[in-house]
Amino acid sequence: MDSPEITIIIPERNEAKTLPLILIDVDRYLSKGLVNYEIIVVDSASTDSTREIVKRLSSFIKNLKLIKLEKNMGEGFAVRKGISEASGKVRLLLNPRSSVSINEIEKLLPEFKAGFGVVTGKRRALPGLSGKIFKSGRNFGFWCLSMTAVERILPKMKINGCGYWLELMEIAKRTGVRVSEAEIEAENGFGNKTVMDFIQNLKDAIKIKIWLLSGAYKI
C-alpha cells in the first residue's frame, strides 16, 4: 500500500459510546474517495472499553491504528503523539467531542493548494445575537496540517494541555507557516469544552507567553 495522502487523528479518552459511530462514519466517507488514508486513534489511558472497541473495529477498518498511552498526559500530548506517528501528507485532527462531520474536510483541503500549512475550520456565523457572541468560533477540534507545517512546528511544541492549539498558532506565525480558515458547518463551536478546559487554556496561554519572551522555543 502506498503512503496515505490523509491521516485522520482522533485523540480521546473514555469515548466508548461515541467513538464507534465516528470511526465507521469516517471510514465510510473516506473509502468512497480515490486517495489512500489512515485513521489513528490515540487513547489516553481509557478506563472504559474504548480500546477493545477499536481493536474489534480494526478487523474490518483495515487502515485503523490504535496508539495506547498508559498515562493520561493531556490532550496536547496525545495530539503530538498522533501527528508524529502519522504517515499522511495531510494530517487532520478530529476531536470526538466536536460536532463536525468528516465531510467538512472537503472545505479545508483546497487551502493547501494555495500554499497554506495550517487550515482550521471556522463555524459559519449564526444569525442574531448568537452570531455576535460566537462569531469567533474557530478550530474546535477540526484542523489540518501539511507535512511542511509538521516539520516546522511539531518539534517546538511543549504544551500537554488543551491550550496546545494556542501554542501551535504562535509557532506557525513565527516560523513562516501560513494559516487559513475555512468556513464549515458545526453545531457546537466549542467542542463541548468545560469550565476547567477554559481555565487550563488560560494557564497554558500564560506559559506560552513566558516561553516566547524567554526564547525557550528557539525561534
- pLDDT at residue 134 in the model: 42
pLDDT at residue 126 in the model: 52
Residue 28 included in any domain: yes
pLDDT digits (tens, 9 = 90+) for 171-197: 999 999 999 999 998 765 445 567 787
Q: Inform me whether the pLDDT recorded for 26 exceeds 60.
A: yes
DSSP 34: S
Domain contains 1: no
pLDDT over threshold 90, residue 3? no
Whether 198 is covered by a domain: the verdict is yes
Which pLDDT does position 138 carry in this prediction? 54
Domain of 106 in residue numbering reads as 6-214
Average pLDDT value over all residues in the chain = 89
The region, left, alpha or beta by phi > 0 then psi within -120 to 50, assigned to residue 62 is alpha
Q: What was the pLDDT predicted at 127?
A: 54
In a domain, 219, yes or no: no
Helix (H) or strand (E) holding 44: strand 37-44
Domain for residue 205, yes or no? Answer: yes
Total number of domains in the chain: 1
Share of the chain above pLDDT 90, in %: 77
More confident: 141 or 95: 95
Strands across the sheet with 64-69, in order? 64-69, 37-44, 6-12, 90-94, 138-146, 118-123, 179-184
Which has the closest alpha carbon to 168: 99, 76, 84, 96?
76
Whose CA is closest to 126, among 40, 190, 205, 219? 190
Domain CATH number, residue 150: 3.90.550.10
Query: What count of residues does the chain have?
Result: 219
Beta-carbon contacts of residue 6 (< 8 Å; ≥ 6 apart): 30, 35, 36, 37, 38, 88, 89, 90, 91, 92, 105
d(CA 78, CA 114): 29
Mean pLDDT along residues 1-11: 90
Instruction: Give burial (CB, 10 Å; 0-12/13-18/19+) of 130.
Output: exposed
pLDDT of residue 62 exceeding 90, the answer is no
Question: C-alpha 103: how far from its chain's center?
Answer: 15
Asked if the model's pLDDT at residue 217 lies above 70, the reply is yes
Residue 54 forms part of a structural domain: yes
**pLDDT (tens digit per residue) in 140-173:** 589 999 999 999 999 999 999 989 999 999 999 9
The pLDDT value recorded for residue 130 is: 41
CB atoms within 10 A of CB 17: 12
Q: Output the furthest CA–CA distance in the chain (Å, rounded).
A: 50
Residue 61 falls inside a structural domain: yes
- Is 0.75 surpassed by the pTM of this model? yes
pLDDT at position 98, please?
Answer: 82
Give the tens place of pLDDT for each residue, 101-143. Answer: 999 999 999 999 999 999 999 876 555 544 444 444 455 589 9
pLDDT for the residue numbered 133 = 42
Q: Looking at residue 21, what is its pLDDT?
A: 95
Cβ 172 vs Cβ 118: under 8 Å: yes
Give the whole-number percent of the chain exceeding pLDDT 70. Answer: 88
